[in-house]
């Protein structure tokens, strides 16, 4: 039996791993996107795409895990969030004029990333990143050797509002001149408010606290609610992707992980999309998983990592 004295040290989720490289990649129009790279790449190369409001720091734990597996892992902050600047005068407003801007950034970034080396090239994409990846593939972006989407945003929860009414309200607010304004407030002053938001994201209060710690210690990466324009674009982009026929032509080996009780994205929409993508595999977690599956309690998180690692071993062998 291994002695606990020789157990590997716990990963420090509030520090950058040693030997990583943090810099900026510039989009064709010159916009700087903050980029992070870790790992030697003996296994291959992996691109990690975060969700709306995310920053690289939230994924350091899984980036480190995959780097330890031999992957050369690359992650970046989407234009307008994290360390990649802002698109309005409100530093806490998550805004984008057109999701097509992010699709363009992803295509250009992925082109340069693919040119960095040989060997298997895979993508792991969470939430909004999952939607953008699938849309980019549907629109002709060269496919990686395999991909995983985690709680992909294939539909947006709009509370009790029917989808048509949510789209109408978002378009109306944009038409009234509020497109760059926050669509709602995100109050976290009280412990009750923080707990309510935490439960929508993860059952793990410590990993949720890590996000708050990074935001408090690096205020320039903090982001709050989305703009009305983001809401309108999210509703329209997810609707158009599902209504079109391009999903049926996506050929990349794909694993989809979802949470049955996700309160941010639509799991029924994920299930519908999974049935349409040829060969896509879907695993849906139960009540022990919220939206951020890769930042859940260890029994869920480790199960997800094992599924992802086994899938890549099969679909994109070294």
Q: Does 169 fall in a domain? A: yes
* Domain annotation covers residue 5: no
Output the tens digit of pLDDT for each of the chain's 318 residues. Answer: 444 555 556 899 999 999 999 999 999 999 999 999 999 999 999 999 999 999 999 999 999 999 999 999 999 999 999 999 999 999 999 999 999 999 999 999 999 999 998 899 999 999 999 999 999 999 999 999 999 999 999 999 888 899 999 999 999 999 999 999 999 987 777 788 889 999 999 999 999 999 999 999 999 999 999 999 999 999 999 999 999 999 999 999 999 999 999 999 999 999 999 999 999 999 999 999 999 999 999 999 999 999 999 999 999 999
* Domain assignment of residue 209, yes or no: yes
Angle at 142 between CA 137 and CA 143, to 5 degrees: 65
* Helix, coil or strand: residue 124: strand
Under a CB-based contact definition with an 8 Å cutoff, are residues 287 and 262 in contact? Answer: no
Q: Indicate the pTM of the whole model.
A: 0.95
In a domain, 8, yes or no: no
Distance from C-alpha of 290 to C-alpha of 279, rounded to nearest angstrom: 25
Euclidean distance between CA atoms 42 and 67, whole angstroms: 10
What order do you get walking across the sheet with 121-126 strand by strand?
Answer: 21-26, 32-38, 71-76, 44-49, 121-126, 146-150, 254-259, 281-285
Q: How far is CA 225 from CA 54, 236, 248, in A?
A: 11, 18, 33
Between CA 94 and CA 29 the distance in angstroms is 20
In a domain, 174, yes or no: yes
Residue ranges making up the domain that contains 211 = 18-315
CA-based nearest residue to 25, from 113, 139, 128, 147: 113
Residue 94 within any structural domain of the chain: yes
Q: Domain count of the chain?
A: 1
Q: For residue 268, give the CATH number of its domain.
A: 3.40.50.1820
Assigned token pair, 112: 């340069």
Task: Determine how many CB atoms are found less than 10 A away from the CB of residue 226.
Answer: 24
Distance CA 295, CA 307 (A): 15
13 belongs to a structural domain: no
């Amino acid at each position: 039996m291994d002695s606990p004295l020789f157990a590997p040290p716990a990963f420090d989720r509030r520090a950058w791993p040693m030997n990583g490289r943090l810099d900026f990649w510039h989009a064709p129009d010159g916009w700087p996107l903050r980029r992070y790279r870790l790992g030697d790449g003996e296994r291959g190369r992996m691109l990690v795409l975060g969700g709306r409001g995310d920053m690289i720091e939230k994924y350091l734990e899984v980036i480190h895990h995959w780097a330890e597996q031999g992957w050369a892992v690359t992650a970046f902050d989407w234009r307008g969030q994290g360390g990649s600047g802002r698109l309005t005068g409100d530093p806490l407003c998550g805004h984008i004029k057109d999701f097509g801007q992010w699709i363009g950034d992803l295509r250009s970034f992925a082109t340069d990333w693919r040119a960095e080396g040989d060997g298997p090239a895979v993508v792991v994409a969470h939430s909004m990143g999952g939607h953008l990846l699938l849309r980019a593939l549907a629109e002709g972006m060269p496919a990686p050797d395999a991909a995983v989407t985690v709680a992909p945003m294939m539909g947006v929860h709009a509370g009790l509002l029917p989808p048509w009414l949510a789209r109408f309200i978002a378009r109306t607010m944009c038409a009234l001149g509020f497109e760059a304004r926050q669509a709602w407030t995100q109050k976290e002053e009280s412990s009750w408010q923080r707990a309510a938001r935490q439960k929508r994201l993860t059952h793990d209060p410590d990993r949720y606290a890590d996000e708050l710690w990074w935001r408090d210690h690096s205020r320039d990466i903090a982001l709050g609610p989305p703009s009305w324009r983001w809401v309108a674009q999210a509703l329209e982009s997810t609707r158009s992707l599902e209504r079109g026929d391009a999903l049926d032509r996506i050929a990349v080996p794909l694993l989809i992980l979802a949470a049955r009780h996700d309160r941010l994205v639509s799991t029924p929409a994920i299930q519908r999309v999974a049935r349409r993508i040829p060969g896509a595999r879907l695993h849906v977690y139960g009540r022990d998983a919220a939206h951020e599956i890769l930042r859940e309690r260890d029994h869920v998180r480790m199960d997800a990592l094992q599924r992802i690692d086994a899938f890549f071993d099969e679909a994109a062998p070294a």
